[in-house]
Amino acid sequence: MAEAEAPTISPVVAAVAAQKKGSRGFFGFGYYSLRKLMEAENSLLSAVAHRIVSRFVPIRFKQSEIYTISLEAEEKPVDQDPIVLVHGFAAGSAVWCAQLLSLAKQHNVHAFDLLGFGRSSRPLFSHDETLAELEMVEAIEDWRKEMKIERMTLVAHSFGGYLASSYTLEHPSRVKHLILADPWGFPERPPPNDKQIQPYPWMHFVGGVLSYFNPLALLRVMGPYGPTLVKKLRPDLSLRYKGANPDDIYTYIYHCNAQPPTGETAFKAMTHTFGWAKRPMIRRFNGISENVPISFIYGSKSWIDPQPAFEIQATRNGYVDIQIIRGAGHQLYADAPEAFNEVVLSIIERVNSTVAKDEEDSTEK
């Protein structure tokens, strides 16, 4: 959040807060706090707070709202199509804090919390993986309509990249350029074979039990110790996110995910055990219109396999670019923010120049 005055909490979010505030975990702890979430977000965005406009954008799905932050270009925008940032699993729009100033120098920029995550509404999604995916995709389309955006450059990370790809399949005319940063959910799940190391029977049992729970259930059970758990698991985050307090990022991540886990449940519906997508994007990706330029960006130290991007590049007729950021892991926009920003801006400029040239050649003919 970023306006000078305190933000207004929407009726939908306020109702959810009233319902859950003070709820207890298994150990007698742990209600989440929208106030602490907002304070942590404000701190993470403090470098650009004076320029941010925030709002809750209404959509049709179960009368929900999508929380959005926006920045107008500091200079005259190079084009009227904004950059839209889509976060990954278990995150929110504030994770893009190191990108906003750089991208908004010559572009209008929006970042939103995916439906079911962050400060957006928490409606229940279908338990069917296809329907859950479609519900989240159509929420993005409703958001676009309410924001009165004709076309946009989508910059999407991890699970957000999966949803952005699905959105582009459904609404290609609304995507000027699809930029996927370490996208999740592309490869096929490898079939079991005799050469693979087989887990012990007790590991099958434990895996089966855990499959009944949402991925971040332990975080919520920990209650007030949740931020400490996040810090133990990712001590590097405080070095990457420079809020007023080094623990701001842990507070932010915890309170984003301590709320009713509806988006998390939708993600679980879309996955096999251990995180393989039930509907791998590699099967469907070349259904995206050839008129939509595609750029992939990977961290050289990420656990995400870039091989599907090279397969797409080899088989797709349209524009496909692949960039690798050296030394960056899965959170490449936070691991190497300056390099990430430079790559994003350079590929946007390159594609814009190519599109302008093609339009000029078409006019001359």
What is residue 152's predicted lDDT score, i.e. its pLDDT? 98
Surface-to-core class of residue 126, CB atoms within 10 Å of its CB (0-12 exposed, 13-18 middle, 19+ buried): middle
Q: What is the mean pLDDT of residues 234-258?
A: 88
In this prediction, residue 361 carries a pLDDT of 56
- Percent of the chain at pLDDT > 70 equals 82
State residue 357's pLDDT score.
64
Q: What is the mean pLDDT of residues 16-45?
A: 65
pLDDT: which is higher, 229 or 277: 277
Mean pLDDT, residues 248-263: 93
What would the mean pLDDT of 101-113 be, rounded to a whole number? 97
Give 5's pLDDT tier (boundaries 50, 70, 90): very low
Residue range 219-226: mean pLDDT, rounded? 79
| pLDDT at residue 306, as a whole number | 96
* Per-residue H/E/C for the chain: CCCCCCCCCCHHHHHHHHHHCCCCCCCCCCCCCHHHHHHHHHHHCHHHHHHCEEEEEECCHHHCEEEEEEECCCCCCCCCCCEEEECCCCCCHHHHCCCHHHHCCCCCEEEECCCCCCCCCCCCCCCCHHHHHHHHHHHHHHHHHHHCCCCEEEEEECHHHHHHHHHHHHCHHHEEEEEEECCCCCCCCCCCCCCCCCCCHHHHHHHHHHCCCCCCHHHHHCHHHHHHHHHHHCCCHHHHCCCCCCCHHHHHHHHHHCCCCHHHHHHHHCECHHHCECCCHHHCHHHCCCCCCEEEEEECCCCCCCHHHHHHHHHCCCCEEEEEECCCCCCHHHHCHHHHHHHHHHHHHHHHHHHHHHHHHHHHC
- Predicted confidence at residue 41, as pLDDT, reads 95
pLDDT tens digits, one per residue of 200-222: 443 343 344 344 456 777 777 77
Q: How far apart are CA 103 and CA 153, in angstroms?
A: 12
Q: Among 285, 317, 278, which Cα is nearest to 165's?
A: 285
Tens digits of residue pLDDT in 279-305:
999 999 999 999 999 999 999 999 999
pLDDT at 72: 96
- Considering the entire predicted model, what is its pTM? 0.87
pLDDT at 230: 86
